[in-house]
Structure 1
Amino acid sequence: MIFSLILNTAAQDTFGAELDKNEEYQQRMSLYKKVETVTNIPWYVLAAVDQYERNVRHSRKDIPKADGLIEIYVKPEVWAGPLNPNLNDNNPLSIGLFGGIGVDGNGDGLANQKDDEDILFTFANYLMSYGADVDNIKIGLWDFYQRDKTVGIIMGHMKLYKNYDRLNLDDHAFPVPLRSNFSYKNTWGDARGWGGRRIHEGTDIFASYGVPVRSTCYGVIEMKGWNRFGGWRVGIRDLDNMYHYFAHLNGFADGLQAGQIVEPGQIIGSVGSSGYGPPGTAGKFPPHLHYGLYKDNGRTEWSFDSYPHLKSWERADRQKNRKK
């Protein structure tokens, strides 16, 4: 009886969390569409920037937490103007005089750095000064962030949102079919010697040659080809600014290309033993998939333990199979 109550409570909590997330998505989409109507900057551009910034804010401590739904961060000196003596200025007139970009987005006469509509309209207005086409948006993004990788990640987010026309792209999948014979344990951080002393930045999933390898997420292929450590490998960037790294492949799925959109469960290649040498080297170790996760925080990218995510996605896939 107690166990049943615990399960029911947990199920209700999960359902409540899903409702909260869906409601947040609806509110954010409403804001994006509202600003799109006024500025002609496509909603998926604003959503991509906001999503990129959301992940950056949540992974760094030097940026204040957002006060509302929109998490685009504009530095106070950029918002109010570099020579403005009041970096908390919310008067659109004085902000303009000092060369700030902050504007009033909701018609209340204030350019509030903590108001969702003002933040979103300010960034859209900034991009609009460059132009609403893709090439000019890229120039505006580069001028704002001064970082090629950031622009590339945001462009990938844009591609996903435009393609699916929705925000809820959170699903994941285990990288090999559950019906296949596979095994894995937590090997992140283990010592590696080939090519110099280094740590193992991933989890090895051992399986037979040719077992399908699947995308773990909605994402865009950033890299495809040969790496002397990883052999034939694929790198996918998701909407959490995370890079999913699949290495030691036997080959790629037909037609797979850099820049392509992929979905959870989509086959991208097969298990092999390639790597540790020039292109074509294989067989130096048992066949397995090396799967790694890397996070970008707007300044650098680092690897972290992928094992807990794999266990979670494996459990979720098993639950889905039981429901079929």
Structure 2
Amino acid sequence: MLALFKKTLPWRTVLCLSAAAMLWGASQAAAAEAARRVNLPAVQSGSSSAAGVADPAAARKELYEQMSAATGIPWFRFAAIDQYERTIAKKKVPADALASSRITAISIPGPVWSGPLNPDQADTSPDSISFFGGMGYDGSGDGLADSSNDADLLYSMARHLLKYGNSANDFSIGVWEYYHNGRAAQRVAQFAKLYEHFGRLDLSGSAFPLPLGNNYAYRSTWGTGRSWGGARIHEGTDLFAPQGLPVRSTCFGIVETKGWNRYGGWRIGIRDIENRYHYYAHLSGYDKSVTRGDIVTPGQIIGWVGSSGYGSPGTQGKFPPHLHYGIYRDRGITEWAFDPYPLLKQWENQEYRALRKNKRSK
């Protein structure tokens, strides 16, 4: 039996090597075909440094549009994936590394880029990466599949997405298949909708949630105990104001939730481009033009101050009218609340300064 094993072993080796050679040849042909279809200008990591670009956002948008022209994927979808990676980048990519050598924040792990069985996890050869089932492709035209090159990363992501199609639903499926995280797919779809609607990357800007004046009062109430609903802490700031005072969106964002919550009463939740969830609770009602999935802008009226909550739908009057404002940050795996009081003071002061400046200029 041992002699028979020794005789058959070389034949098994020959068969394995033959199969490997056939696969290697197929990967070379696929790479050559990809090179014929796409001819992008090189984007070297050194030349695309954020530190050396006067307007990094403009440089990113130009790169997205280049890749869109090459692949047919709309620029705002690349922007949405990039932005999602930015919101979780502290867990994946050191900020100084991004600032010194990259203009995008997309980061594909080594085993995914090079192939899980690739003995060289820093491999830059498109042929060997393809042979080992890696995701990496050459998108810059320099003959390398470099996971630190922005064009290569975007093109590789495009190749992955296009396996599922090019519709909005196909895009969401492709994003889910990459992250295997339903919340990630939702966030990327939300960001893409915002970028498509406004047509730009800069969606900064804010507003105080109530109209400026002397008819409201607030202080930091973060972490205090609650009088209803069991053992829990106060995850927000209460702004006491008259019943029916307008409540405004603090940001550019998408209405993610709207309806009754037994703790917050009539409440609305808005997701902004920084992956922060803005929570407005105890409302007396909503603006009828605002529905779930709608895009809102800073200062837009979304509802009115009330005293709803602490019971079944419609419960009101168990406490004085006020707006409970909370803010939560999503880091990809967990979402956690943080004290909104400093931001509220900042937004209020900014708005007062803008009003004074406008008065002086007239």
TM-score, reference length from structure 2: 0.82
CA distance in 1, matches of 2:301, 2:143: 52
CA distance in 2, matches of 1:264, 1:172: 5
SS at match of 2:342: helix
Does structure 2 retain, via aligned residues, the 8 Å contact 1:48–1:155? yes
1:151 correspondence with 2:185: yes
Residue 235 of structure 1 is matched in structure 2 by: 269
Q: Structure 2 vs 1, CA of residues 37 and 180 (structure 1 numbering), >3 Å: closer, same or farther?
A: farther
Residue 13 of structure 1 is matched in structure 2 by: none
The within-5 A match list for 1:141-220 is 141-179=175-213, 181-220=215-254
Q: Which amino acid aligns with 1:199?
A: I
Q: Which of 282, 293, 300 matches 1:248?
A: 282
Instruction: Note the alpha carbon deviations across 1:84-103, whole angstroms, 9 max, x for none.
Output: 11111111110000001111
Deviation at 1:64, TM superposition (A): 4.5
Q: Which of 24, 28, 37 matches 2:56?
A: 24
Q: Which runs of 5+ in 1 are unaligned?
A: 1-19
Does structure 2 retain, via aligned residues, the 8 Å contact 1:230–1:274? yes
Does structure 2 retain, via aligned residues, the 8 Å contact 1:180–1:211? no
1:53 correspondence with 2:80: no
1:221 correspondence with 2:221: no
Q: Which amino acid aligns with 1:268?
A: I
Q: Structure 2 vs 1, CA of residues 244 and 21 (structure 1 numbering), >3 Å: closer, same or farther?
A: farther
Q: Which of 301, 304, 308 matches 2:342?
A: 308
1:115 correspondence with 2:120: no
CA distance in 2, matches of 1:203, 1:69: 36
Does structure 1 retain, via aligned residues, the 8 Å contact 2:257–2:269? yes
Q: Which runs of 5+ in 2 are unaligned?
A: 1-51
SS at match of 1:196: coil
Does structure 2 retain, via aligned residues, the 8 Å contact 1:70–1:119? no
1:41 correspondence with 2:84: no
SS at match of 1:156: helix
CA distance in 2, matches of 1:54, 1:39: 23
Deviation at 1:193, TM superposition (A): 3.3
Q: Which of 123, 135, 151 matches 1:89?
A: 123
SS at match of 1:192: coil
Residue 105 of structure 1 is matched in structure 2 by: 139
CA distance in 1, matches of 2:345, 2:179: 36
Q: Which amino acid aligns with 2:228?
A: W
Instruction: Note the alpha carbon deviations across 1:238-295, whole angstroms, 9 max, x for none.
Output: 0011000000001000121100000000000000010000000011111100000011
Q: Which amino acid aligns with 2:146?
A: N
Deviation at 1:21, TM superposition (A): 9.9
Give the greater-gyration-radius structure (CA).
2
Residue 262 of structure 1 is matched in structure 2 by: 296
Residue 6 of structure 1 is matched in structure 2 by: none
CA distance in 1, matches of 2:72, 2:135: 18
Instruction: Note the alpha carbon deviations across 1:181-218, whole angstroms, 9 max, x for none.
Output: 11111111111131101110000011000110000000
Residue 48 of structure 2 is matched in structure 1 by: none
Does structure 1 retain, via aligned residues, the 8 Å contact 2:308–2:317? yes
Aligned residues: 303
Structure 1 stretches of at least 4 aligned residues deviating more than 6 Å after TM superposition: none
Does structure 2 retain, via aligned residues, the 8 Å contact 1:41–1:124? yes
Deviation at 1:179, TM superposition (A): 2.8
Q: Structure 2 vs 1, CA of residues 180 and 210 (structure 1 numbering), >3 Å: closer, same or farther?
A: farther
SS at match of 2:130: helix
Instruction: Note the alpha carbon deviations across 1:93-117, whole angstroms, 9 max, x for none.
Output: 1000000111111111111111111
Q: Which of 294, 302, 311 matches 2:328?
A: 294
Question: Percent identity over the alignment?
Answer: 50
CA distance in 1, matches of 2:182, 2:69: 29
Does structure 1 retain, via aligned residues, the 8 Å contact 2:265–2:283? yes
SS at match of 1:246: strand
Q: Structure 2 vs 1, CA of residues 118 and 21 (structure 1 numbering), >3 Å: closer, same or farther?
A: closer
Does structure 2 retain, via aligned residues, the 8 Å contact 1:22–1:168? no
Q: Which amino acid aligns with 2:70?
A: V
TM-score, reference length from structure 1: 0.91
1:79 correspondence with 2:79: no
Deviation at 1:137, TM superposition (A): 0.7
